[in-house]
Amino acid sequence: MKNKKILQVEKLSVWFRSGECEVCAVSDFSLTLAEGETVAIIGESGCGKSVAAHAIMRILPSSSRIDGNIFINDICITQLTEEEMERIRGDHIAILFQSPDRSLNPLYMIKRQVAEPLKIHNKPADKQTIETILRQAGCNHSDIISKYPCQCSGGMNQRALLAIVSGLNSGIVIMDEPTKGLDYDRVKDVQQSLEEIKSDMRGIILISHDISFVRSLSTRIMVMYAGEVIESGLTSDILTQPMHPYTRSLLMSLPEHGFVPIPGMAPALSEIPAGCRFSPRCTMSDEPCNHFHPDLVRYKEREVRCHRY
Ligand SMILES: Nc1ncnc2c1ncn2[C@@H]1O[C@H](COP(=O)(O)OP(=O)(O)OP(=O)(O)O)[C@@H](O)[C@H]1O
Ligand code: NI
């Protein structure tokens, strides 16, 4: 029997008002997360990864508008009130934000940062529970509990955040760049902490630029370009046999593949090409690529948005 679907996003689009106009930051984004899965979202800066994550959490600014449906544990959240949504956040789904420095309150000790969300969600928040949660997330120094974020290293703060999120036991966790700005050893620490707590979580959405991190933790990968998914599939298939020219270029730009840069830049949201969004940078683009926007086509476990297939 297939594992239960715990998160379903159907044809999500997000627009931001910009003066008199609107720009579309995410279009036609669909995702299914089943129990036990870790789905990674990769793509260059500005392609819409965080906006999609914030739409799922319903924490986008009021200058935004969304279309599509989002189901969290079979609950359609798009029409819920903010009060109802507050229960969904924490009880059903949690997010680890992109910037740990901005996510932790500089005026609270780590123990209070872990305790407050637990209390809000009516969970035990005694000293022993907090110590256990921190230890499980890899914070092994017992004195971290009485430290302020400015007294901890970046890696330690990141693991404290991991502890806050895992302590809520919300099942689905979105991790937005959990290794950003960390050096190699700290990345390995966070990876180890994540592997340890992964089994307690029902499903993870992992947003990252760090492909080796994604390779070791994810079951599937979704590749985004200029606001849309251009390829998705099993992690090993995407990394060893990329089909979309953009995925191939992205992998070639990694240090382990020779650092070959992708020519040009991703389009501004106000200047999205009419045809394939990658065509102005694609070495394989042909006439139809410039004029017709390709659909996302499914091939068994893989989905690709390219006229060549
Ligand atoms: N509040 C906002 N108002 C207007 N545009 C926004 C807003 N938030 C994000 N955007 C735009 O939406 C696009 C997608 O941004 P997003 O933060 O999702 O990128 P990302 O893929 O997460 O990039 P990174 O890897 O740098 O975190 C960008 O062009 C960004 O400028
Ligand atoms: Ni982001």
Quick: pLDDT tens for 16-64: 998 889 999 999 999 999 999 999 999 999 999 999 999 999 999 999 9
Any domain includes 207: yes
Query: Which of 16, 229, 272, when mutated, tests ligand 1's pocket best, judged by the most ligand atoms within 8 Å of its CB?
Result: 16
Could you write out the three-class secondary structure of 195-208? HHHHCCCCEEEEEC
Pocket of ligand 1 (CB under 6 A): 16, 25, 43, 45-51, 61, 63, 98, 269
Query: Which of 18, 42, 49, when mutated, tests ligand 1's pocket best, judged by the most ligand atoms within 8 Å of its CB?
Result: 49
Any domain includes 194: yes
pLDDT value of position 101: 73
The position carrying tokens 């984004």 is 29
pLDDT value of position 143: 83
Any domain includes 115: yes
37 within 8 A of 212, measured Cβ to Cβ: no
Instruction: Supply the ipTM of this predicted assembly.
Output: 0.99
In the chain, the number of structural domains is 1
* Domain extent at residue 162: 5-218
Give 141 Cα–ligand 2 centroid separation in angstroms: 30
Q: How far is CA 172 from CA 94, 118, 196, 202, in A?
A: 6, 16, 16, 6
pLDDT value of position 199: 78
* Closest ligand relative to 22 C-alpha: 1
Q: Whose CA is nearest to atom 30 of ligand 1?
A: 46
Residue 119 CB-density burial (10 A; 0-12 exposed, 13-18 middle, 19+ buried): exposed
What's the mean per-residue pLDDT of the chain?
92
Any domain includes 118: yes
Q: Whose CA is nearest to atom 25 of ligand 1?
A: 45
Which token pair is 274? 């009419």
Per-residue pLDDT in tens (0 to 9) along the chain, 309 residues:
578 999 999 999 999 998 889 999 999 999 999 999 999 999 999 999 999 999 999 999 999 999 999 999 999 999 999 999 999 999 999 999 887 778 899 999 999 999 999 999 999 999 999 999 998 888 877 788 999 999 998 888 888 998 898 888 888 999 999 888 878 887 887 888 788 777 777 899 999 999 999 999 999 999 999 999 999 999 999 999 999 999 999 999 998 888 899 999 999 999 999 999 999 999 999 989 999 999 999 999 999 999 999
Any domain includes 294: no
Q: What is the CATH number of the domain that holds 176?
A: 3.40.50.300
Any domain includes 104: yes
Any domain includes 282: no
Any domain includes 290: no
Q: What is the pTM of this model?
A: 0.94
216 within 8 A of 256, measured Cβ to Cβ: no
